[in-house]
Amino acid sequence: MSSLDSLPSDILYLICTHLCRHCHPPSVLALVNQGESPDVASSQAALVALCSTSRCLRDVAQTFLWHAPTIRDHGRFVRAVMARPDLALHTRYLPGRRWLETPTVCRYPEDLALCKRVAQMLFLELPFDPDFNDACRGDDGVDYFFTQLLVSLLPRVEIFYVDTRLDRGRDYVDWHRANFYNLEWRFDVLEHIDLDPASRRFPNLRTVIIDGGDTRACRTMSLIGLVTMLSAATNLRCLVLFQVRGFERHPDQRHLLPPSLQQVRELVLDEFNLYIDPTRQNYRSLENLIRLCPALQAFTLRPLPSRDASLAKGHHLSRSRLLDSLLPASETLTSLTIRLSHVRVSRWDFMPGPQPAMLQFPCLTTLVLDEQFFCRHWLPAKFGGYADDQTTCLTELLPQTMTLLGIRLHHKFRALNDVCHLGKEVATGMFPALQRVEIDVLNHVRSRPNNPAWARRLGKRLEAYRESARQAFDGTSVQAHIREVLTH
């Protein structure tokens, strides 16, 4: 008998909860961008090991494995769902195929026959292929069909990854055919007249991740099928748009969105295209989307870095236009995260600064920014740059309502002195609501030579940063934390 068997069941439950990627999830951005990270893989392996240790441990750990299954063969997974519907009811997160190295749709004939029977039971069909002759090909249309099949079989899913990318590696004829494989038909099961209305809803669905994958092709998403699915998620709280340009090319469908976004509390735009253009179309698209979310409380943006050689330094983000786009949520927004990575703010947009716009968000309590969003020390004086001894970049920006502040340093770490100046201001009674400051020192993984001497220098520098922050906030109630973060 394993020594773990002697532990109380509630302790075993807590152990499995810590290992489960659904119960102990990373941030939404990490969920979208990292996929099967080493930590996730090791946690899943640990749960598998617990299941094979003893019957007692298997009874506890098995349900956690089903919370967020790794699906590498859709046919085998459908077979498992039909064989163990009691365990399938525990599925909470359906990942997309984006991070699978060798995805397979349906490898065995018996699995294909089972999927066909289940699809007929759910009134589903494969467009242009009623006999399922192409169901083993694994192209985009077939994958979309299996996505619809799985989400229809698992009504308790809470996090759903929707991959809307088209396979652009084919010739024109096949690509044109693939255009029919989109959200306009994927969730037609929800509208079938023979279904009970209760079965057309996903009341447990809280987070939907839409992967557009089409920023380079400059295509936007159709709304018909998207709205059908979002409307079925009656308790939707978080909407993530990954590599989606927006919806402006479908103005005749925009009226469909408002009912499905009424309950959204968090909106995440990852690799969203905000290139400067004379028409300001992308900022207008963002503003229209914000306007459709009347209950929005948290907004996260990570813009797409420029791949244009003429914008090699990435100076293409407008702070003023971005903040103006968020004004429809000024009375409800409590959390704002802007992760610029290697994108820098346009020099001309630093004058006169973002302070007036920030003051228009009276409920804002959480703010996470990269230093180039507010720091003027990297600018020449003629563009409004500050001297090294002028350390008010941050205090000029923050509203007095701030309780949690996150700063990401990665442009020569010039904003550290501004953070220390904030500590001195807090000691004088400014920013009375501030409780915690988190500072991430970003280092690119390729900039780290693999030698002990360099690691010691980095450790000393990080420790010096920690000591500076500790001294700055010493004597205040604010908790200040500094950590190193490696980026790719």
Helix 38-51 × helix 9-19 angle, to 10°? 150
Over range 150-169, report the average pLDDT: 70
Which range scores top for mean pLDDT: 306-315, 339-348, 410-419, 468-477? 468-477
**299 pLDDT exceeds 90?**
yes
Lowest mean pLDDT among 105-114, 133-142, 389-398, 432-441: 133-142
- In the chain the first and final C-alpha atoms are separated, in Å, by 44
For 341, left (φ over 0), alpha (ψ -120 to 50), or beta?
left
DSSP state of 354: S
**295 pLDDT exceeds 90?**
yes
The pLDDT value recorded for residue 361 is: 92
What's the rounded Cα separation, in Å, for the pair 322 and 274?
9
**pTM across the whole model:** 0.81
User: 257 Cβ partners below 8 Å, 6+ apart?
Assistant: 223, 227, 247, 292
200-216 per-position pLDDT tens digit: 567 888 888 887 765 44
Percent of the chain with pLDDT over 90: 12
255-273 per-position pLDDT tens digit: 667 777 888 999 998 877 6
Decide: 443 and 487 in contact? Cβ < 8 Å: yes
Alpha-carbon torsion, ordered 167, 169, 170, 175, to 10 deg: 40
* Two structure tokens written together for 391: 């350390």
Helix 55-67 × helix 38-51 angle, to 10°? 150
Decide: 163 and 97 in contact? Cβ < 8 Å: yes
What's the rounded Cα separation, in Å, for the pair 212 and 164?
5
**378 pLDDT exceeds 90?**
no
Greater confidence (486 vs 307) lies with 486
Lowest mean pLDDT among 245-254, 304-313, 342-351, 446-455: 304-313
The pLDDT value recorded for residue 381 is: 66
167-197 per-position pLDDT tens digit: 443 333 333 333 333 444 445 555 554 555 5
The pLDDT value recorded for residue 289 is: 84
* Two structure tokens written together for 396: 């000029």
What's the rounded Cα separation, in Å, for the pair 488 and 486?
7
Over range 382-387, report the average pLDDT: 66
Distances (CA, A) of 379 to 219, 309, 342, 348, 408: 35, 21, 16, 10, 18
Three-state DSSP state, 222: coil
Helix (H) or strand (E) holding 11: helix 9-19
Over range 389-409, report the average pLDDT: 85
Decide: 152 and 189 in contact? Cβ < 8 Å: yes
**351 pLDDT exceeds 70?**
no
